[in-house]
Amino acid sequence: MVNIEKIKINTREVIKKAGAVIRAGGMVVFPSDTVYILAVDPTNKMAVEK
């Protein structure tokens, strides 16, 4: 299942939610100044293979 949410404000709640997604084996994508960053739990093999 894919769950996509566009969030434009960095708040403590958004950061907590992103952490929960990563801990649950999901992926969080966020922009930097020049590229997009894909964040997963590196100890979760299934998440890394996504």
Tens digits of residue pLDDT in 8-49: 787 898 899 999 999 999 999 988 899 999 999 999 999 999
Q: How far apart are CA 3 and CA 32, in angstroms?
A: 21
pLDDT given at position 7: 80
- pTM comes to 0.78
Can you read off the two tokens belonging to residue 26? 């999901």
Can you read off the two tokens belonging to residue 45? 């093999």
In the chain, where are the structural domains located?
A: 12-49
pLDDT given at position 21: 94
- Determine contact, residues 30/36, Cβ cutoff 8 Å: yes
- Determine contact, residues 39/27, Cβ cutoff 8 Å: yes
